[in-house]
A = this chain, B = another copy of it.
């Protein structure tokens, strides 16, 4: 096991990389532990959970609402959860997002920790402190930023994941490498097959390196005033694609990264060969790199992006693999660019 400490304005988070869920109670340090999980995760991994009270929600993006949050508040009241208790979110990104929001707002904030059970949640959703729910069809419209006390990453939990889920997680690892670590990117190019097969020594190194990139960025700029925007590489367009086409997050981010890399090249920032390396890695893994739907819908969705400021949006472009810049782009300009041939 390797440990990373994320030190952010809202608090510190211990990242326990390669720890076993069977030791999770050692980190809870509370008389009353309440698990929040979903029914799928409960069925697959319930036998590994510590013995304590549990709130189990349905699975899927449709459950990520304020109604679910209220149901959980009520249950916490019934269970007499107070500030000496801790909430433990065990599940994928949706469980982590909801748990984080509940723990941040119940009694104005009580202690919480995560055991992410998907690769995507392990390398992205569970760390960084962002939480929240969807509202009126807008993703993550309502939420807050607060760090869990710990995140426990048990790779055994990933063994039940379908291959497509593994690929989606890989997209975020590729993003971390692209924005902050050229040598990790090269390592991914060589080792992607072993990563998808969850070879222990390789997955531990890749997740550690990937989390290190994100943790360093979040430590510098938790509330996303500057540095943290780097993590949106592939996401500005990716979120719009996800919303419009209903693609899974990782696949949408894959397309978003290809678009952002091509825009970087068009603007003369990035060598075309680097774009090809990105496209090849994503293709090798089996992630989509070509858009086969109406791009106009994507632009419409962008105009409602919560990161929009007036008629401009911040966009993360690559100068080289491992090195990014943040620039403001008018949505009209973006619209013109993504309609050019060979963009994606």
Seen from chain A, the residues whose Cβ lies within 8 Å of a Cβ on chain B are 9-10, 31, 66, 70, 73-74, 77, 82-84, 104-109, 130-132, 135-136, 138, 140-145, 223, 306-310
Q: Decide if A136 touches B74 in the complex (CB within 8 Å).
A: yes
Q: Which residue of B lies closest to A70 (CB)?
A: B66
| Residues of chain B within 8 A of A140, CB atoms compared | 108
Known A83-B309, A310-B84: A141·B73 in contact at CB below 8 Å: yes
Q: Decide if A309 touches B84 in the complex (CB within 8 Å).
A: yes
Q: Decide if A143 touches B108 in the complex (CB within 8 Å).
A: yes
Q: Which residue of B lies closest to A135 (CB)?
A: B73
Q: Decide if A138 touches B77 in the complex (CB within 8 Å).
A: yes
- Bound form: Cα–Cα A17–B228 in Å: 35
Q: Decide if A306 touches B70 in the complex (CB within 8 Å).
A: no
In angstroms, how far is the closest chain B Cβ from the Cβ of A55?
16
Q: Decide if B144 touches A109 in the complex (CB within 8 Å).
A: yes
| Residues of chain B within 8 A of A138, CB atoms compared | 77
Q: Decide if B106 touches A141 in the complex (CB within 8 Å).
A: yes
| Residues of chain B within 8 A of A136, CB atoms compared | 73-74, 77
- Bound form: Cα–Cα A142–B144 in Å: 13
| Residues of chain B within 8 A of A141, CB atoms compared | 73, 77, 106-107
Known A9-B9, A70-B66, A144-B144: A310·B31 in contact at CB below 8 Å: yes
Ordered by A's residue number, 8 sampled pairs between the chains whose C-beta atoms are within 8 Å are A31-B310, A73-B135, A73-B142, A82-B308, A84-B310, A107-B141, A108-B145, A109-B144
Q: Decide if A105 touches B142 in the complex (CB within 8 Å).
A: yes
- Bound form: Cα–Cα A175–B148 in Å: 34
Q: Which 8 A-B pairs have the closest CB atoms?
A: A84-B309, A108-B143, A107-B306, A105-B142, A82-B308, A105-B144, A108-B145, A108-B144
